[in-house]
Amino acid sequence: MGQKINPNSFRLGIIKDWNARWMPKKLHFKNFLEEDVLIREIIDEKIGQAGIDKVVIERVGEGVKIFIKAAKPGLIIGRGGKGIEDLKNILGKKINAFRIRKELKKLSGLSLNIEELKRMEISATIEAQNIARELERRMPFRRVIKKHMESILQHREVKGAKIKVSGRLNGGEIARKEMLAKGKIPLQTLRADIDYGEATAFTTYGTIGVKVWVNKGEVFVDKIGLNEKGKVKK
C-alpha cells in the first residue's frame, strides 16, 4: 500500500493535515470540491512561476480564506501589493461566476495569505517543478536529477530522497522510466515524514512526468497532539 498511494494522503490525520479545511453544507460537497479545483487551477495558471509549495483553502460561512506557501512571494505580492490585489480580483470574479452558474450564494469575503518558504526548508513539489523546467530547456535528464539529488541531500533534516522521471527522455523513440534514489525512503512507515511532489515537463517530444520523494525523518506525536519539538501538530 505504501509503495502505491500518494505519501501525503496516506499520512492524513496522522502526521499531515488536510489542504482543504471545510465541512460541506447538506448537498453542496460536489460544488465546493469543484470550486476548490477551480481556485487551485487559477493560482497555478497566474502565479505558478512563483514556486507554489502548498495551497490551503478554508471556508467560513460563504467566505473563503486561501493560504499560499511560495518560494518567491515577491512575485505574487508585486510592487505595492498590486499583484496580490489583481489575483484577488480575478479569483473573486471567477468564484462568483461559478456560484451563479451553480445557483449558490455569492462570495461574502475572500482573503489571501502569502507565506514564504524559508531557505532552510526543502519542498519536494518545488524540486519537481524546477526539474521539469530544466527538462523543458532540453538539459540532459541524468545531469538534472543528479544535481537536484545532491542539492536535496545537503539539507540537514533530509534522511533520503528519490527522483523518478518518465517519458521520452532525451527525445528517445520509446518512453521509459529512470530513477535515482539515495538514503532511506520508508514509504510504509506512517510516522516517517515523507514529502512528495510531482510536476510535468512539456517538451517538443511530448510530456515527461517528474516525481520527487523526500524523507525528512520521523515525527513522534503524543496524545495531546504535540510533536517532538513541543509544537502543535499541523
Distance of CA 44 to the CA centre of its chain: 10
232 pLDDT band, cuts 50/70/90, is very low
- Starting at the edge strand found earlier in the chain, the sheet holding 20-21 runs 20-21, 52-60, 63-70, 110-116
State the pLDDT at residue 199. 95
State the pLDDT at residue 4. 86
Does residue 173 surpass a pLDDT of 50?
yes
Q: How far apart are CA 8 and CA 27, in angstroms?
A: 27
- What is the domain class of 7-116 according to CATH? alpha beta
Q: DSSP secondary-structure letter at 139?
A: -
Q: How far apart are CA 19 and CA 80, in angstroms?
A: 29
The tens digit of pLDDT for each residue in 45-81 reads 999 889 999 999 999 888 999 999 999 999 999 888 8
Q: Which CATH architecture has domain 124-218?
A: 2-Layer Sandwich (3.30)
Sign (positive or negative) of CA dihedral 14, 19, 22, 23: negative
State the pLDDT at residue 153. 95
Rounded (5°) CA angle 16-54-164: 85
The tens digit of pLDDT for each residue in 7-38 reads 999 999 889 999 999 988 777 889 999 999 99
What grid cell was written down for 224? 495531546
Residues in a beta bridge with 198: 211
Mean pLDDT of 200-211: 95
The count of residues in the chain is: 234
Alpha helices in the chain (DSSP H): 7-10, 29-47, 73-77, 82-101, 124-136, 141-153
State the pLDDT at residue 134. 95
229 pLDDT band, cuts 50/70/90, is very low
- Starting at the edge strand found earlier in the chain, the sheet holding 192-203 runs 176-183, 160-167, 206-218, 192-203
Q: How far apart are CA 67 and CA 65, in angstroms?
A: 7
**What average pLDDT is seen over the chain?**
90
Q: How far apart are CA 70 and CA 49, in angstroms?
A: 10
State the pLDDT at residue 27. 74
> Please, what is the end-to-end C-alpha distance for the chain in angstroms?
24
227 pLDDT band, cuts 50/70/90, is low
Residue-range domain boundaries for the chain: 7-116, 124-218
